[in-house]
Amino acid sequence: MKFDMPQLLCDTGGGFLICRFGYRYEEPRTADAGSQLFYREPSGYNLVPGTGSEVKLTLKRGTAITAVAACQNDGAQLVSSSNAAMDSYAKQPLETAAPYTWIWLGGQNVTDSYHWVFPDGTTLNVTGPGQSYFCPQSPDGYSFCLEQHHSGCWHTYRCNGIDPGYLCEIKLPN
């Protein structure tokens, strides 16, 4: 028998109660005797302090579409970097990256270049370039996907463009 609770999927098959945390995380969790939580974290993910999210940076060239698919294969989404703690954490691995290194983030504009929606449903509205976390020339009005520059600011880019990496996020339940 399977039953759903908000952000928690449990299966009582085989006489055991097995629960999976986070949104749409489908990788089978295995018992880990060394863990107080009795499950193994997905490979490569790290907890971001103060957010309740785990993220993984992958340096593999691809489009925003291939980055979304890769994150979904992990049961994750492209990162919703619209808060200060997540944005600060996302900047750290890029600080030592080569100039002009960009990674895909999860924001997309859906109505115009000043209104952004993130995978977790949060929104960000700006009134012009250089506001919030955006680089001085962004948003530019021509691109619909969001990337982060090695300097830490956000830049808009065409979704079929190629970036060297992406940042996936798994949100843990409250």
105 and 21, same structural domain? no
Query: Residues 66, 72, 73, 75: what is their CA dihedral angle, to the nearest 10 degrees?
Result: 160
153 and 112, same structural domain? yes
How far apart CA 71 and CA 50 sit, in angstroms, is 22
Per-residue pLDDT for 61 more than 90? Answer: yes
| pTM of the complete model beyond 0.85 | no
Task: Give the pLDDT confidence of 104-148 residue by residue, as tens digits.
Answer: 999 999 888 899 999 989 899 999 999 999 999 999 888 899 999
Confidence band of 11 (pLDDT split at 50, 70, 90): low
24 and 102, same structural domain? no
47 and 9, same structural domain? no
65 and 23, same structural domain? no
Question: For residue 24, what are the domain limits?
Answer: 1-40
Q: Count up the domains in the chain and report the number.
A: 2
Task: Give the pLDDT confidence of 67-85 residue by residue, as tens digits.
Answer: 999 999 988 999 987 778 8
